[in-house]
Amino acid sequence: MRALPRKTLAIALAIALVGVIAAAASARGNSPAKTAKTAKVCVLLPDTKSSVRYELFDRPYLAKAFKAASVSYVINNAQGDQQRQRSQGDQCLTNGAKVILVDALNSGVGASIESAAAAKKVKTIDYDRLVLDGKASYYVSFNNVAVGKLQGRGVVSGLKAKNLYSKQPVIAELNGAPTDNNAKLFKQGYDSILNPLYKNNTFKKGPDQSVPYWDNQKARTIFDQMLVSTGNKINGVAAANDGLAGAVVASLKAHKLKALPLSGQDATPQGVQNILSGWQTMTVYKSVKAEAAAAAKIAIAIIKGKRVTWTNATINNGTRNVPSVFLKPVTITKTNYTLLFKDGFLKRSQVCVGTYRKYCK
């Protein structure tokens, strides 16, 4: 067998090393077995594909809260795999968890996890996403209809800024996963702003499609098809999060089209960069720090046998009303993006880098 040239061998070794690092990063979501076996709180995160928030923000904030309270914990990420998330839930129960925070991939898997937990008298908390027909004792999130309303208003403001509002602009809607109840609530919110404008012919309703699994690559294909079906005549887009908005931006650039009014959500580094460079109109900042703290506070109270007296809402999950903590979302635009730095949500170095440095204040 002929020996590989040194350069080829070096490249092969580098690729192998990258694979090892990626595998380690993927496995980072699961604490060592010793920790898992003693964890009183078990957190089930859904993926890294729908949003970077889960590993970038949720994990460290939750970990910090549990450490501060000296409560043992394990944090798992299902990486988009329903069976893996169910198995992770079962493992939590096997290892004696007293509370499980469930950020379910969908209500089906979430309900099965919560039913299994209830059978063992283990409390569950719906985290960020409501599990329809579930058995959670509490729900911690944002008012997701209000999030959608901010997105709808953001598109309207963008159209006015570009002098398109009075020109019967065509609006496309790129919705989140049809299996995610939050996506349904976001759409309910922005449709409450946009539907009256469709009805009175101020705006024209364009393509309206959901993106399976919040998959950004699928979103790119879907928006490419939207452009083809309308002959590139789309004047604004209600996109359900920054990942989907990024797919719209990539499509517009590939088709050599100009920026248009475009909503987003999650205040991701890429989303803020797109706002600063003029490709995205706004995003919605949901303080994951506050959300994680609220969920952790409830979990810790349950473990320590204390009453939870600070819920501020209820929401019906299809079978019952769930006591809830709803936090307030905030619109982020070019005018106030530095709030994200002041709150410690993002670092300036995550946003103001490379070609985006020139846009930062």
User: CATH 3.40.50.2300 spans which residues of the chain?
Assistant: 31-136+287-327, 144-285+331-359
Q: CATH number for 31-136+287-327: choose from 3.40.50.150, 3.40.50.2300, 3.30.70.260, 3.30.1490.190.
A: 3.40.50.2300
For the cut 90, the answer to whether the pLDDT of residue 18 exceeds it is: no
Quickly state the pLDDT bin for 37 (edges 50, 70, 90). low
CB contact at 8 A, 74 and 42? yes
- Please give the Cα distance from 249 to 247 (Å, whole number): 5
- Of residues 247 and 39, which shows the higher confidence score? 247
Class of residue 83 by CB neighbours under 10 A (exposed 0-12, middle 13-18, buried 19+)? exposed
Quickly state the pLDDT bin for 49 (edges 50, 70, 90). confident
Q: Which CATH superfamily is domain 144-285+331-359 in?
A: Response regulator (3.40.50.2300)
Instruction: Say what the pLDDT of residue 51 is.
Output: 85
- Please give the Cα distance from 170 to 197 (Å, whole number): 11
What pLDDT digit, counting tens, does each position of 287-333 carry? 999 999 999 999 999 999 999 999 999 999 999 999 999 999 999 99
- Of residues 11 and 269, which shows the higher confidence score? 269
What pLDDT digit, counting tens, does each position of 328-340 carry? 999 999 999 999 9
Mean pLDDT of 229-248: 98
Average of per-residue pLDDT values in the chain = 91
What pLDDT digit, counting tens, does each position of 77-92 carry? 999 999 999 999 999 9
What pLDDT digit, counting tens, does each position of 125-164 carry? 999 999 999 999 999 999 999 999 999 999 999 999 999 9
For the cut 60, the answer to whether the pLDDT of residue 31 exceeds it is: no
- Please give the Cα distance from 298 to 58 (Å, whole number): 16
Instruction: Say what the pLDDT of residue 174 is.
Output: 98
Quickly state the pLDDT bin for 21 (edges 50, 70, 90). very low
- Please give the Cα distance from 1 to 216 (Å, whole number): 43
- Of residues 298 and 4, which shows the higher confidence score? 298
How many percent of the chain have pLDDT more than 70? 89
Q: State the CB neighbour count (10 A cutoff) for residue 148.
A: 30
Mean pLDDT of 19-39: 46
Mean pLDDT of 207-235: 97
**What are the DSSP calls for 102-166, one per residue?**
E--SSHHHHHHHHHHHHHTT-EEEEESS--TT---SEEEEE-HHHHHHHHHHHHHHHHHHTT-TT
How many percent of the chain have pLDDT more than 90? 88
Mean pLDDT of 342-350: 95
For the cut 80, the answer to whether the pLDDT of residue 7 exceeds it is: no
The amino acid sitting at 317 is N
- Sequence-distant (6+) residues with CB within 8 A of 349 are none
